[in-house]
Amino acid sequence: MIAITAMLTLAACVPGFGPFLRNVDGQTWAARFDVTVGLTGGPTLRLPVDLEITFRQRFTDVTADASLSYNVALFRLQTGSFVALSGRLGLDDGLSLDSPNRVLAFDGRFVDDRLIGTVSIAGVAPVGDVVFTRVR
C-alpha cells in the first residue's frame, strides 16, 4: 500500500501526469447566444446576447468582470457597468460563477479550448450549452 501511494505521489509531480489546475488569470472569454423571453403560452422575443468575461484567479478562487449586452435590430443595450462574479475553478476544469445579487450566474466546464455551460440571467432565463471562446 505504501509503494502504491509513493508511486501516485511521484506521478503527480511529473509534468503531464495527475490533475492540474487551469490558469485563466487575465484571460477574456466571450460568447454570443439567444435568450428567449416572454410569458408562458404567450408571444416570445429572442434577444441576441453578447457576454464577455475577464478572469482573475487565485489558485481555485476565481473572480471575474462580465460585460453583458443585448443586440436588437438597430440598437445595442449594454448593462452599463460590469457585473462582478466570484466562484471556484475545479481540478476537473469545472467552473461555477455567481454575482452577489444573482443577476448573472454561470456553471460549466472547460473542454479543450472552449468553455461550455449554462448562463442564467436574473435567475429566470437560463440558457444551456453556451460556448465561450478565448478572446485574449
pLDDT, tens digit, 9 for 90 and up, residues 61-87: 999 999 888 776 655 555 556 789 999
Give pTM, 2 decimals: 0.77
Residue 104 CA, chain-centre distance (Å), reads 10
**Cα angle vertex 17, ends 7, 93, to 5°?**
130
Domains of the chain, CATH where assigned: 21-134 (2.40.128)
Residues of the chain with pLDDT under 50: 15-16
